[in-house]
Copies of this chain bind each other. A is one copy, B any other.
Amino acid sequence: MRVVREQAGRAAALDAADELRAKRAEFVLDTPDEPDGTVYLDGNSLGALPRTVAPRLAAVVEREWGLLRIRGWREAGWWGAPERVGDRIGRLVGAGPGRIVVGDSTSVNVFKAVVAAARLAGEGRDEILVDAGTFPTDGYITASAARMTGRLLRSVPAPELAGAVGDRTAVVLVNHVDYRTGRLHDLPAVTAAAHAAGARVVWDVCHSAGALPVGLDAHDADFAVGCTYKYLNGGPGAPAFLYLRPGLQPRFDSPLPGWNSHADPFGMAPVHVPADGAARGRVGTPEILSLLALEAALEVWDGVDLAAVRAKSLALTDFFLHCVEEYVPRGRVTCLTPVPHGERGSQVSLRCEAAAAVMKELAARDIVGDFRPPDVLRFGFAPLYTSFTDAERAARALAGVLGR
């Protein structure tokens, strides 16, 4: 009990000193239905609901769709939302205005990016590399892109990618943070290695956007795709985003040249002439309700410094790991997430026997994380709303489950 008192006290002190602490109140957490507050450590799957969303979405439905109807496209700014929301995300991933467009799913954006990147490569570059630990859909879609552009697909562990890329490589697809282990891959180094070999690199920043500084512009990423329903809290299935490096935009040859990417979309011309800028990454009509819910959700980021987010994220995962070490009987879990800060995203993954059943037990104790087959417990730490008290409670509950 002394150990628990110590760590609980430390959690309270860390929370009191947390400069992002006030952000938590901007989310629907600690509701009247949950007086003690569920400990929600699954924001890396689906971010919590920002309080900005419900009123905005009600206004979009009732005032914009309901009363403006078709005029909403111009008068309510629906038409420009993919680029406008893209610019808003840009600040969070280190991309200047005009580089990001929002719409479609991550999978569809991986297809656009990998095909377009392959088309930029010479015919002699006959292979596409994908990181071996990729989130599955990226692998499936990259395989399709390889098949449709006549390339071979080669799976390489991410830490070996910089050495594997060569003069046969057209494209490298890498996940910035491994969804399973929480390992942060070296975006600057892999990008530089790919470029040195004459290849293009597509980054999947689903598990880093909103969790840490990404620096897409600074590190010369070619293309990137990302998700907005995890750390960006855009809501279930919120639209994904696509980053197009400015210098490559005029050569971005999309496999999905829908009418929204036309230079004159309302000209209804029979031949596609691609738009300039990030709009070239658009396809069909964007799902406006989901997109504007995301826009409202992004308001919680106003004035937030990504360096503070990263500092808190690392402090949270450090503290959680410390509590696990203090509480959980030795040998019951193995940490898959790297200890060095430079290799860690914003989650902690613990390998554990009977992990699926353990996660169920945790849920029964109001601790929400998730299970990834075959044996991984995943705990996501969303710096805008996760508290140190949450981390301590989760570790304590885990010890309770594993101690039995």
Contacts and interface: CB of A to CB of B under 8 A. Distances in A.
Interface of A: 28, 31, 33-34, 40, 42, 45-46, 48-49, 53-54, 57-58, 61-62, 64-67, 69-73, 78, 104-108, 111, 135-137, 139-141, 143-144, 148-149, 155, 180, 229, 235-240, 254-260, 262, 266-272, 283-291, 293, 368, 370, 372-373
Contact of A259 (B107, B155, B270): B107
Contacts of A137: 258-260, 284
6 contacts: A46-B69, A72-B236, A107-B258, A107-B259, A143-B272, A237-B288
Nearest to A273: B140
A141 B53 CA distance: 34
B235 A61 contact: yes
Contact of A287 (B28, B49, B239): B239
Nearest to A140: B272
B105 A284 contact: yes
Contact of A49 (B40, B45, B65): B65
Copies of this chain in the oligomer: 2
Interface centre among A67, A69, A255, A291 (most CB of B within 10 A): A69
Given A42-B70, A239-B287, 11 more contacts: A46-B70, A49-B66, A57-B58, A65-B236, A104-B104, A104-B108, A106-B284, A136-B270, A137-B260, A140-B272, A237-B286
Shortest 10 CB-CB contacts between residues of A and residues of B: A105-B284, A107-B258, A107-B284, A236-B288, A137-B259, A287-B290, A140-B272, A49-B66, A28-B66, A237-B288
Nearest to A137: B259
